[in-house]
Amino acid sequence: MTRFQPIYDIAEIGARKGLKHVVLSPGSRCAPLTLAFSRHPQLDCKTISDERSAAFIGLGLAQQTRQATVLVCTSGTAVYNFAPAVAEAFFSKTPLLIFTADRPAEWIAQQDGQTIYQENIFGKHVKKSFQLPQDYDHPDSKWAINRIVNEAINEANQYPQGPVHINAPFREPLYPTASEDFSYSKVVRTIDAASGELSLAKTLRKQLVKEWSGYHKVLIVAGQQAYHEPTAKLLEQVCRKHNLPLVGDVICNLHIIEDLARHADLFLGQANNEIKKSLQPELLITFGESVISKNLKLFLRQYPAAVHWHIQPSGIPSDSFQSLTRIIHTEPAEFFNFLDSFDISENFDQQKRSNYQKLWEVEERKTNRLLQEFYPQENFGELELVKEILEQLPSPCNLHLANSMSVRYANFIGLPAKQKGIEVFSNRGTSGIDGCTSTAVGHALVSTVPNILITGDMAFFYDRNAFWHNYPIANFRAVVLNNHGGTIFNLIDGPSALPESDEYFITRQALSAKKLCEEFGFDYLKIDNKRKIKNTLKDFFEFDGSTKILEIETTHELNKSIFEALKKKIKTSYES
């Protein structure tokens, strides 16, 4: 048995508990962990040099596989580079198992290289943090390592899923000698954690039935969640049975529901107070994670529901609409099956619910009609290109939306019910631009379907190290909306009116994706006029073994004028 046998057995424990994917960032201090994972025949290891990209690629792997991904890095500031993805994983409830190699504790602050304070370095942005013993010879240390690793894996996978950190100090020598036998123990202990199903208690069911009958204006709002067709179909059935309006952003992955109000962000931003007052719910039912629409948030805060039920199995309750009155600890499918069991009768109460549902339906249909009338525009801008991309998405595929304007453009346009098999992903846990491309690349590395990323130039160039690795991603496509700066700061109130806007908020840049494509050997496509759209998109969506980047170069002024014209068209419809 070698000195690092308890460390090598970490990989064996992980494999037996179902771990499959490991992202390694090169370093010397992490050598025992790197050898443990890379030599295990049941684990798929990939090397990503940039720790920030590596962590986001790991995030994408975990999102795609719905299993915890292992991250490994060396000591020192390398650890801090994991932090943005760790924070995103925490708030998006994505399971990561993070191993950070460390120096022995006595060498901290003693001018030893790559040595910082690593214990609990991620603070509240991990579900739990562990410190391994730094000497492994004593039987209690071996027992502790086994127990900690088992607990960490269980914790990462239990709802709410999330990142768990294990800091591992190692003494030199870090590498096995030629005479040392490297193997995994044939007998390792695994500790399983059984999770019971959260069902609605009988007393709670009676209470909900009683309360339900007292509300006629019932609104359901769906937040970000994974694509799951059976749940979507169940929800559609419940909404039609009880005449309930359902509102959802593009990231809620419920676009296959025909009657989904998918353009609420547009019409709530332009509707007058009289319309908004008529749409005010008495009972608000929410589930899922965050919503994109600021206008929906403002509406539900300014016109709050008297009662707000939020459905989540466990975890920190979210009160983003400032009206929460009841947390229902169960799975959404369990709750909607319960609603589906309610009897209905054609009476005055049911007619009131129907009337309220029709108010939302009218606004949704009107806005959708105005959107269709708005195109094509004389000048081809980002919004219209996003519309063309969304309409031509292959099925099945993963649609990845970078933060800032990309995800908002997609939300303004929406996906129609006929586009089944398209799952939407976006890093909305923290809504940062820093790892959008890397996350999409993580998906592409393990998924069998096309992965289409729509991104702005700032997010794209900020995360260019997403491509700095040796793994093919022929199923990856990126659409780069290059307006040479941060357009969102030219659109939102506040920074757009400041004289410092150009330099300090929009931050103009002159980069093009063409050079990046040359560097990494990708196919580069460019749209610079309307006549090229049809043939360019045909080439873009042909999966012929190449990675392809499509770029459109426009100006802030053009995109702002188009967006303002759309808002004016919708606003005018409420004034006539």
Going by C-beta distance under 8 Å and a sequence separation of 6 or more, which residues neighbour residue 139?
none
Express each pLDDT in 77-120 by its tens digit: 999 999 999 999 999 999 999 999 999 999 999 998 899 999 99
**What is the rounded CA–CA span in Å between residue 548 and residue 480?**
11
Express each pLDDT in 330-388 by its tens digit: 999 999 999 999 877 666 677 889 999 999 999 999 999 999 999 998 889 999 999 99
One-letter-per-residue 3-state SS of 319-372: CCCCCCCEEECCCHHHHHHHHHCCCCCCCHHHHHHHHHHHHHHHHHHHHHHHHH
Q: What is the pLDDT of residue 286?
A: 98
Cβ proximity of 410 and 401 under 8 Å: yes
Domains assigned to the chain? 5-169 (3.40.50.970), 202-371 (3.40.50.1220), 375-559 (3.40.50.970)
Band (pLDDT 50/70/90 cuts) for residue 572 is very high
- Average pLDDT, rounded, for the chain: 94
Q: What is the pLDDT of residue 500?
A: 58
Q: Distances in Å between the alpha carbon of 264 and those of 177, 234, 247, 300?
A: 64, 22, 7, 12
As a whole number, mean pLDDT of residues 213-227 equals: 95
Residue 195 clears pLDDT 80, i.e. is over it = no
Looking up tokens 């105005």, which residue turns up? Answer: 370
The rounded percent of the chain whose pLDDT value lies above 70 is 95
Express each pLDDT in 485-530 by its tens digit: 755 555 556 566 656 566 556 677 789 999 999 999 999 999 988 8
**What is the rounded CA–CA span in Å between residue 116 and residue 79?**
9
Q: What is the pLDDT of residue 492?
A: 57
Residue 562 clears pLDDT 80, i.e. is over it = yes
* Token pair recorded at residue 395: 């099925």
SS3 state of residue 246? strand
Task: Provide the H-helix boundaries in 75-225.
Answer: 77-80, 83-92, 139-157, 202-212
Express each pLDDT in 413-435 by its tens digit: 999 999 999 999 999 999 999 99
As a whole number, mean pLDDT of residues 7-22 equals: 98
Q: What is the pLDDT of residue 347?
A: 67
Q: How many CB atoms lie within 10 A of CB 210?
A: 9
Closest CA to 212 of 186, 179, 238: 238
Express each pLDDT in 112-159 by its tens digit: 889 999 999 999 999 999 999 998 889 999 999 999 999 999 999 999
Q: What is the pLDDT of residue 525?
A: 98
* Token pair recorded at residue 449: 């379907």
As a whole number, mean pLDDT of residues 55-62 equals: 98
Q: Distances in Å between the alpha carbon of 385 and those of 66, 70, 173, 537, 551?
A: 31, 37, 56, 10, 10
Positive/negative CA dihedral, 271, 276, 281, 286: positive
Q: What is the pLDDT of residue 137?
A: 86
Lowest mean pLDDT among 31-35, 453-457, 501-505: 501-505
Residue 412 clears pLDDT 90, i.e. is over it = yes
Amino acid at 562: I
Omega of the bond prior to 32 within 30 degrees of 0, cis?
Answer: no
